[in-house]
Each structure stands twice: as C-alpha cells, then as structure tokens.
Structure 1
Amino acid sequence: MGDADAKKSEAANGEEIPMDGSIQGFESLHRLLEASLKPEIFKEVSRLLIGLNCGRPLERIALPESVGTLSSSHDFDIQAFQFHAEKEVMRQPQIVRVGLIQNSIALLTTAPFPDQKKAILQKLKPMIDAAGMSGVNILCLQEAWMMPFAFCTREKRWCEFAETVDGESTLFLQDLARKYNMVIVSPILERDINHGETIWNTAVIIGNQGNIIGKHRKNHIPRVGDFNESTYYMEGNTGHPVFETAYGKIAVNICYGRHHPLNWLAFGLNGAEIVFNPSATVGELSEPMWPIEARNAAIANSFFVGSINRVGTEVFPNPFTSGDGKPQHADFGHFYGSSHFSAPDASCTPSLSHYRDGLLISDMDLNLCRQIKDKWGFRMTARYELYAETLSQYLKPDFTPQVIVDPLLKK
C-alpha cells in the first residue's frame, strides 16, 4: 500500500496530485481544472462528472475534531458530504446519516485463522467508533468483511470463516449498534446449521437496539474467471427484502447483483430508500463499470445507493488457476476501493481512495426519493405488465423471440 499511496503527478503549477483515486486527488485535480478552464467550461465538466444535487454542488459536512484524531491515529481516511432535497410544505425533512467502510485485510492470509479474525475486529473497531462518534445512523461494511476474499482459491478450508447469523461478528457489532444507536449492515459468510450447514453469502441487518432485524442472501453468484464463487455458495433464497429500520427502508444488493438491473428494480418495487452494494471487485475486471452501474440504479429506481469495495491485494499461500488460459497465480488482483454514494437525482459523491482504508459519510434527505419519482414519473410510466408478459414467455422452453423479419431478406 505504501508505494501505491505515494503515486503522484505534478501539475504545471507545481501542485502534486495524488493519483490514487482518492478524494484528495479528486480535489487537487478539481483545483487544477478550475484554474485551467474557463469558469463556464469548468462548471459544465464538474456537472457532468459528479452531477448537481438540487441544482448545486454537494456540500461537505464538518465532523468532530475527535473523529479526525481517531482517523489519523489509526491511518484511515474519513470524508463526509451532504445530499439535500427541496423543502416541502406537507412533509418535514427526513435526514439520515449513512456510512460506508472500505478496508484491507489486517494480517497476511498465511496467519492462523483465529488471529486473522481477531485482527480484523481490532482494525474495524476504531473505524466503527469513528462512524458512531460522527452520528452515523446506518453503517454498512464490505462484502465478507471478516475474512480474506478467498473464494478464488476454491479451497474448502476457507469455509472455517463461515459463522451463524448470530455468531461472533454479529455479537461484536450488536454491542456497537447499541452503544451508538446505529443500524449496522454486516455482510458475512453464513453457515446455515438448520439446513445441513449450507454456506451462504449473507448480509445481516442489526438494528439500532442491537437486535437482529433479518438477513438477505446474495441473489447472483459470479462465474467469471477467478470469481467462480459457486464453489462455496449458490444463489440466495431470500428474495428482495427491504428492512424498515428506525432510520429508513434499506436493502442490500450484494456485489455481483449490481450487474443485474432487475435485481435493483425488485428492491425498489419493495420500497427501498437506500440500497447498499457491498462488493469485492478488482480493477482489471470491473473498474470501468464501477462508477456507472450504481449511479444508474439510483436514477432508474429513485433511491440512494451506497457502493463499497474492499482495498488491497490479497495473496494466498497456494497458487490457483482461473480456467481462462492464464498462468497460475496467487492473488485476484488489486481491490480498488473507490466507495461512494449515488443519489436519485444523478448526483454522487467523489470516491474514497483506490488504496487506503476509509470511512465515507453522507447526510441524505430521503424526501428526495419521492421528489424524483414525482419529477420523472419512472414508476408511473413503467409498463410492468408488458415486462411481466415478456418474462413469462421467456421462461417457457418453447420461447420464440419477438423478431419481425424483413420479408425481402428471403428473396
């Protein structure tokens, strides 16, 4: 991480710009563009890159000094922004403070498994404390946060990290949820002891009083190169649940589900106001998609999206192959972080770093969800009956695509 964090580019004016995808790098580039371009051109470039929230740029949130001290002493970034909604006559603002945590693993994958688990709990504790001290109402952690993302290896020994929904990580987070009156979304590798010890990729939703509200199991399982995760778990069986919490209606679209528009749609149809996308994905595979898919989902479904990706390169003891003709290797590639929030009005926050652990915080007025529905009418103008008919026909073995052939092509 040290070499990567040191990547910089020197602008013509002598300012060093961090080339790590961080918010600091974004803001340095922002200043450079502002100085280099005509004001009207700069304003237009900024509008297209990150959008405008209710017609104006996002505002920063001032956090307590103690939070900054905590982030410095434990070496993680912390950034905070605010999404507004228009003032309404009949409704008060529904402002909720939401947090995302991205992080690298705490020990090498060769360390004993109990030590790895203990170390990641110790590493995450200050970051969760920082969220709680900042007044975060809902916090989401990254996919399989309690372990290395070992699913590329296809070695069954990593199943030892699987735990029950009320297991070690949940007990750890329940205390913090109660302490900070905070809802916590905890994506884990679940061991379902009631169904033959089946393994699932699961998000546990812990209420602000420390109770378990429910769980959701990952709907879509990748079979793409190293990400052949069906060695460990299969498609989930929990549908598209939306969890009504003390602070709003939330859902969890785990990782690969972000590539499936109908998955996002179903959470929206069930009333989600915020959908989290805890992920683990590497640059070579998906980075061009990363800033597009969640933002598009927020627009199309009139909800907020919190996108989280882990950080770092995780090297495993035994090399593995991907079935793609490439030589055997011992790592996935670089998990590029870049966690961010997207809003239904097409605005988004800058992303966290490509290389550094971080906590991203956002205030969001949930009134914006209905306001955008009223403005664009996507839900009202959708033709669900047509989509349902097409899907019902598609599922039949004798399905024939609706293609009208030019009769002159046959002459």
Structure 2
Amino acid sequence: MRIALVQQPATADLADNLARGLAAFDRAADAGADLVAYAELAFHPFYPQRHATPDLLAHAEAIPGPTVEAFQARCADRGVVCILNLFERDGDATYDTSPVIDADGALLGRSRMLHITEYEAFHEQGYYAPGDTGLPVYDTVAGRIGVAICYDRHYPEVMRGLALAGAEVVVVPQAGAVGEWPDGLYEAEMQVAAFQNGYVTALANRVGQEERLTFAGESFVCGPDGRVVARAGAGTEEILLADVDLTALADSHARRLFLRHRRPELYADWLAR
C-alpha cells in the first residue's frame, strides 16, 4: 500500500482550502497513492484556538455534505481511498469527525472523536460532543483502516481496540502545535502503538501559523516493528508518501505473540473502572 499524508495549511478562505485539498489528492493519486489522509479539521482554520461562538459553530457541515461529496467524486474518478477530517453537524450536535470514502466513492462510514480535551488554545469541549460511533474498522480496497482522531491516540484502549477489530492501518488526523509536547513524544507514542498492536500508524498533522498557534507538520508513518518509515518536514507544505507492506503484519511481534497471549478475562474489571 502507498499512503499519502497531506500536510497543508488552512486559512479563512474555505473554498481555497478545499480546492488545495482536492489538488493535493490528485497529486497523490498521480504519485500512485492507494490511501490519501488529511489532518484534523483540514479545510478550516483551527477554530478551538478560541472559545466557541454561534458564528464559529455555524461552520459545521453535514456528512454527507459538500466537502464529502466533492471527495466522493474524486475518489471514484481516481480509484483511491480517502480519510478526511471535518467539523460535522448532526442535528443540534457537532463533532470532530473523519469520514472514510472507498476507492469507488462509497461513504463507508464516519469515526467521531471519542475523547474531548480542554486547555489553553484547545477549547474543544465547546465545539465537539463526545463521539458515539465507537471504534469502527473499515474494509476498503486499500486494506482494513481504523481512525484515531488526535486526542484519542493518547488512550491505549483506543489503539488496542482498533487492533482487536482487525485494523491493518490506523490513521491519526492531528492538530499538533510547535512546542506543545516534548520533542519526539508524539512519534514515540505512535511507534509504541504500532509495535504493540501489529499495524501501521499514519499520523497526518496540520502545518502553518494561525491566530494563536503554529502547527508543526512533521507527519509520519510507522511500521508494525515500531520504526518510522517516512517523515514529513517541520513547517513544510507537502505530501508525504510511504510504502508499507501489509502482508508483513502477520510476522510482527504483536500478531505472533502479544495479541495471542492476551488474558482478557483478567482485564475486564480494570478497564471498567
């Protein structure tokens, strides 16, 4: 599988953001990508830099809606799988949501961020209701894909749950700012998740200076042995391409040993606390 992670800035010009995102999709497809993934809230400014207001909440859109429909047409035209991340409205509720579109343009489903953080410049609890979609894994032409949106990747239960559901690749749409965490910690976290669970992790990060935050870029892909196989630049607008061999997952430590030797009868009470 060839994975493409689109690392692009977003501005207040929503039409331009979408146009650049579609153009990046075409460039990735031209480069042989089987799966194209985007960062968190890829086609909007990062609204949670400020507390939520009715004007900002009005930017949430339905799924399916204009953005998803534009990518459905492009996926069908190019025969490529796509993982988006949008500010979704569903009735009176709004969510941080990743629609998953197969290579024939079919909307396979949507994963909503489960855990919602709240701290300075990340005022997300005013924007997003806690997700209610669980941990779906999608059977796509490219492989079995799971999604862990930004904050969810910090929860080992999420990363293990996707493995138990059969994920071969876990895509992580992220909004990670410069200096937000110690150097290398995001990367190490995804390396460990890949190694412990025997799948590929692919983290697509935002990039660029916005109102209160500068997003770092440095998107990356980890193999099931925990090694980083590709990494984008810091602060650069680019498409990161990474080739991964999903047939090699069966030989990973996790699939040969760790998952086989689990003792779930011991964990139920602990995990329920």
- The secondary structure found in structure 1 opposite 2:267 is helix
Counterpart of 1:239 in structure 2 is 134
How many residues are paired up? Answer: 271
> What are the ranges of 5 or more consecutive residues in structure 1 without an aligned counterpart?
1-95, 110-115, 316-330, 395-411
Letter in 1 for 2:94: I
Q: Are the structure 2 counterparts of residues 235 and 368 from structure 1 closer, same or farther at C-alpha, using a change threshold of 3 Å?
A: same
State the match for 1:398 in structure 2. none
Give the SS at the match of 1:99.
strand
Alpha-carbon offset, residue 389 of structure 1:
2.6
User: 1:154-193 to 2 correspondence within 5 Å?
Assistant: 154-156=51-53, 157-193=55-91
Shift, 1:255, TM fit: 0.2
Quote how far apart the aligned CAs of 1:374 are: 6.9
Deviation at 1:143, TM superposition (A): 0.8
1:332-411 map, 5 Å: 333-373=213-253, 376-392=256-272, 394=273
Structure 1 residue aligned with 2:196: 300
Paired AA for residue 198 in structure 2? S
Runs (4+) of structure 1 exceeding 4 A deviation are 373-376
Note if 1:130 corresponds to 2:16: no
CA displacement at 1:373 relative to structure 2: 4.5
Q: Who is 1:319 aligned against?
A: none
Match runs of 1:243-254 below 5 Å: 243-254=138-149
Distance 2:84 2:255 in 1: 34
Q: What is the match of residue 170 of structure 2?
A: 275
2:118 to 219, 223, 240: 223
Q: Deviations over 1:20-73 (max 9, x none)?
A: xxxxxxxxxxxxxxxxxxxxxxxxxxxxxxxxxxxxxxxxxxxxxxxxxxxxxx
TM-score by length of 1: 0.64
**1:246, CA displacement in angstroms?**
1.3
Distance between the aligned counterparts of 1:335 and 1:98, measured in 2? Answer: 22
Q: Deviations over 1:299-342 (max 9, x none)?
A: 01000000111001101xxxxxxxxxxxxxxx1x2210000100
Output the CA distance in 1 between the equivalents of 2:134 and 2:205.
23
In the TM superposition, 1:192-207 aligns within 5 A as 192-193=90-91, 197-207=92-102
Measure how far apart 1:391 and its partner are. Answer: 2.4
In structure 2, give the amino acid aligned to 1:308: A
Is residue 104 from structure 1 mapped to residue 6 from structure 2 by the alignment?
A: no
Q: Verify the 8 A CA contact 2:6 2:37 in the aligned structure 1.
A: yes
Q: CA deviation at 1:140?
A: 0.7
1:25-44 equivalence runs, <5 A: none
Deviations 1:86-119 (A, max 9, x none): xxxxxxxxxx2211111111x4x4xxxxxx1111
Larger Cα-atom Rg:
1
Q: Is the 8 A contact 2:113 2:148 kept in 1?
A: yes
Per the alignment, residue 255 of structure 1 pairs with 150
Q: CA deviation at 1:293?
A: 0.8
How far the C-alpha of 1:287 sits from its partner, in A, is 4.8
Structure 2 length normalisation: TM-score?
A: 0.95
Distance in 1 separating the partners of 2:69 and 2:255: 43
- Which amino acid is 2:195 matched to? I
Could you tell me which residue of structure 2 aligns to residue 403 of structure 1?
none
SS in 2 for 1:221: coil
Secondary structure of residue in 1 paired with 2:260? helix
Q: Cα offset for 1:219?
A: 1.1
Flag the 1:374–1:390 CA change in 2: closer, same or farther, 3 A.
Answer: closer
Match of 2:45 among 142, 148, 173: 148
Counterparts of 1:391 and 1:215 in 2: how far apart (Å)?
25
| Equivalent residue number for residue 266 of structure 1 | 161
Q: In 1, distance between residues paired with 2:255 and 2:49?
A: 44
Structure 2, unaligned runs of 5 or more: none
* SS of the residue 1:222 aligns to: coil
Q: CA deviation at 1:228?
A: 2.5
